[in-house]
Homo-oligomer: A and B are copies of this chain.
Amino acid sequence: MTMRDEILEQPAVVGHLLSSARAALDGLLARLDRKRPEYVVIAGRGTSDHAAVYAQYVLGVRNRLSVALAAPSILSLYGVAPDVSRALVIGISQSGASPDIVAVVQAARSQGAPTLAITNTPASPLAEAAEHLVDLGAGTERSIAATKSYTAELVAVAMLSAVLLDRDGRQDAFAELDVLPEAMTRVLDTEPDVQRIARAAAGMERCIVLGRGFEYATAREWALKLKELSGVLADPYSTADFEHGPKALVEPGFPVLAVAPAGVAGSADLRGLLVRLRTEHGARITVLSDDTATRALADEAVALPEDLPEWLAPIVSIVPAQLHAYHQTIANGRDPESPQHLSKVTLTR
């Protein structure tokens, strides 16, 4: 089982999760009805932190919930547990083993907060620490770079949002998720395009990755895959933060990657920025987009499936980004199955 195999498995993993995770979320819902959370705190590291970023937008935009991304080292370094007794506290970890994430959930539970573990390892310290558990059921993930566990984490977050909307009488929210397995299958057809783009950029050493709104998580995760695997120093930015300074870096030929779908997350200001980066700075632009006009702005473009609900698009758009990082790694003369200096489970404290 290689990293590429695990990328290709994702439609099946998501299809399975959509039918298996509902019961656990209904259990959480019953608990929440007794004490509605006033806000949400999420702890995750690395790839799982990007699922938390996705949750901040999904739960914010669709459920009007304010989401705090925890700083686990407040507890693990300084020994202080902030008061989260009025929050729903979620720990996200593929392995369920990271002591700092486990500690955040344990402390929250001891304060009486409702707690949820989202993990691919149901027999893990994280699963044991939380009151409620979504088992991602993605099967063993052997590659060091997480792929199928990331999309499964995103789906778990989307299902949580849908379950909360269901309670408020929006019965249609859950049905929207059904489009995912087929859209994820279709997007695998982009592989020849991303492979060609990666080969043409062989030797790339640094780049900027842009995305905003729901797709900000995609930009972060895309950049992390590139850094873990290919040796490219890839720096992710939301458009707004990028305008506040790092834009100064972009010189002629500088590679800029962007996730720019047709909806709000690829709105006029992101397209305008891409045009300025190309014409004024001479940047070399690669975009992932379902929008023909946006693709026409770029030096290189990958077509995403059209007509997806915007809040679900990141679950699909990360797939060509994973494939891109995989092929960029090979193009840069490295082995995506054996990234340098990394191990699968990182036990940060």
Contacts and interface: CB of A to CB of B under 8 A. Distances in A.
A82 interface: yes
Contact of A269 (B243, B247, B349): B349
A240 B348 contact: yes
Contact of A84 (B45, B66, B228): B66
Contacts of A222: none
B246 A227 contact: yes
A60 B71 contact: yes
A176 interface: no
A293 interface: no
Given A77-B265, A248-B341, A267-B77, A87 B66 contact: yes
B82 A68 contact: no
Nearest to A80: B61
A10 to B, nearest CB: 19
B241 A46 contact: yes
A334 B346 CA distance: 40
A245 B346 CA distance: 9
A152 B68 CA distance: 25
Contact of A205 (B206, B238, B244): B206
Contacts of A67: 68, 71, 82
A100 interface: yes
Interface in A193-240: 205-206, 212-213, 216, 224, 227-229, 231, 233, 235, 238-240
B341 A39 contact: no
A21 interface: no
Interface in A266-280: 267, 269, 280
Contact of A64 (B82, B212, B340): B82
B57 A71 contact: yes
A179 interface: no
A245 B227 contact: yes
Nearest to A101: B240
A157 to B, nearest CB: 14
A24 interface: no
A12 interface: no
Copies of the protein in its oligomer = 2
Interface in A42-57: 45-47, 49, 56-57
Contacts of A73: 212-213, 216, 238, 240
A224 B206 contact: no
B245 A46 contact: yes
A84 B60 CA distance: 11
Contact of A78 (B47, B61, B247, B250): B61
A65 B71 CA distance: 12
B238 A235 contact: no
B86 A74 contact: no
Contacts of A60: 71, 74, 80, 82
Contacts of A56: 71, 74
A314 interface: no
A264 interface: yes
Contacts of A68: 39, 41, 66-69
B233 A346 contact: no
Contact of A83 (B66, B244, B281, B341): B66
Given A61-B80, A65-B83, 10 more contacts: A39-B39, A39-B87, A64-B81, A71-B216, A73-B212, A78-B264, A228-B246, A244-B348, A250-B341, A280-B341
